[in-house]
A and B are shown apart, each in its own frame.
Chain A
Amino acid sequence: MRFVLALLSQYQYSIWGFTVAVQAAFLIYLLVRRSSKDYPLFCFYVFAGILQAGVLKLTYWRWGFDSVRGWEIAWTTQVFVVSSRAAAVGELCHKVLAPFHGIWGLAWRILLGTAALVVILALVLGGHDWVRIATTVDLGLECGMATAIVILFLFARYYHLPLTFPQRWMGLAFCLYSCFRILNDAVFQHYMQGYASVWTLADGVGFLMCLALWIRAMWKWNSERATTLTMLPSAIYEALIPQVNQSLLTLNEQLSRLWKHEAKRA
């Protein structure tokens, strides 16, 4: 068992080192290509990951991987990194929806409200003790972010909004990573200490895969010009939309009548 743990630890360290190196190279790439102008919060998130790795390296070197202090510092830095990821998710939502003023005005409340509701639900339903509270908060935040991204893409699909290649892949990576962490956290909560090493290893591998998706997204990035759309006068919306809705209602009633008529004939 000890041998297995030592082996896992070695794997963890090599994956960790490799991930930090890739993150650093990616951050340099983003800065050189000036993507930081379009996605400053995303760049900050990548930087936060590197910073966290540095702090954790020092912490584990000073107090050890299994120490209580190490646990506390790890989760404190995790809150910082997860918060910066949440900000990057918010930035992506803004990038996709903000050019459409009406939609953005409607969507940001729904996005924020749903994400907050999901976080609260996860915290309440989790009902865990103080030992598990860190992972519960983490799980709640991940649920909130994944939900926000899914709602963003559902909005884009419903209104046929155009999504650029980087936006699609960035969103996909954010959401898949959050879903992966939800699963990982859920299993971790069930088995706790026995799963700790595997949890760290799985998280490292999962993050590395999502990092690959982010790199793919930004590889095709070209400076995004702010979409300038001439908005229609509000009178058009006020005049047309209630009319369309009324007609849709009548159409549905007609369909129901058709249905009843059929049943009668049969």
Chain B
Amino acid sequence: MNYFPFVAGGVALLLAGLLIWSLRRAGKRKPISNELVLGDFVCEHIAYLPQIRQSLLDQDIHFLSGKGHRRLAQKIRRERRKITLAYLDALRNDFDQLLNLARVVAVLSPELVPGQEWKRLQLTMIFAVKYRVLRTRLLLGASVSEPLCGLSMVVSKLAIDMERAITELGERAALGSETGSTLD
């Protein structure tokens, strides 16, 4: 029996599905701007890291449980989990903003390095999967403490690095134009 028609049929359906998925919200995309506004991607959530870190400490939960306030300890644990989830979402937002900047830079660049683009796509996909899994685990009741702080620091470092690189490039461009006008 020739299976080719079935394979071809499957391919056609898969392509049609991918087409519809890729066209979702296509009409709502904003036109690409030439201006890169630094203020748009300042990571604001990182400022709450000390409070989050404090809320993630287990000592007071143990203290309450030890004193016999089990219900209260459970309630506090639940609320802290909610806060942790909200913080994780906020970090994801910061990450997305930075990724968006990288995207705009790529779109407005005269030449792209295929290796770098492929690497970024791969890393973004891995991040998306890991983030989903982690979020689900948190929803199921797991608790996080120090590693979340590490994650926040990475996002914050990424923002600082990007800001510094753009500022340096801006200064270099300004210096270049000044030199050019002096030579004229």
**Which applies to chain B's interface (DSSP): helix, strand, loop or mixed?**
helix
B-contact 0/1 string along A123-163, CB 8 Å cutoff: 00111100000000001000100110110011011111111
A-contact 0/1 string along B109-135, CB 8 Å cutoff: 111111011011101101100110110
Which of A159, A179, A230, A255 is in CB contact (< 8 Å) with B103? A159
Residues A147 and B109 in contact, CB atoms below 8 Å apart: no
Known: A156-B26, A237-B109, A248-B123. A190 touches B2 (CB 8 A): yes
- Chain B, interface residues (CB within 8 Å), range: 35 or more
Residue of A nearest to B98 (CB): A244
B168–chain A nearest beta-carbon distance, Å: 8
B-contact 0/1 string along A165-181, CB 8 Å cutoff: 10010011001101110
Which chain B positions have C-beta within 8 A of A2?
A: none
Stretch from A7-15, A76-84, A257-265 that touches the partner:
A257-265
**Interchain CA distance A171-B18 in the complex, whole Å:** 13
Residues A251 and B158 in contact, CB atoms below 8 Å apart: yes
Within 8 A of A (CB), among B1-47: 2, 4-9, 11-13, 15-16, 18-19, 22-23, 26-27, 29-32, 34
Q: List 23 A-B contacts (CB under 8 A).
A: A100-B108, A101-B109, A102-B106, A122-B8, A128-B4, A150-B18, A150-B22, A154-B18, A157-B26, A160-B29, A161-B32, A182-B8, A182-B12, A230-B108, A235-B169, A240-B165, A242-B116, A243-B162, A244-B158, A252-B126, A257-B147, A258-B144, A258-B148
Chain B contacts to A: CB under 8 angstroms = 2, 4-9, 11-13, 15-16, 18-19, 22-23, 26-27, 29-32, 34, 95, 98-100, 102-103, 105-114, 116-117, 119-121, 123-124, 126-127, 130-131, 133-134, 137, 142-144, 146-148, 150-151, 154-155, 157-158, 161-162, 165-166, 168-169, 172-173
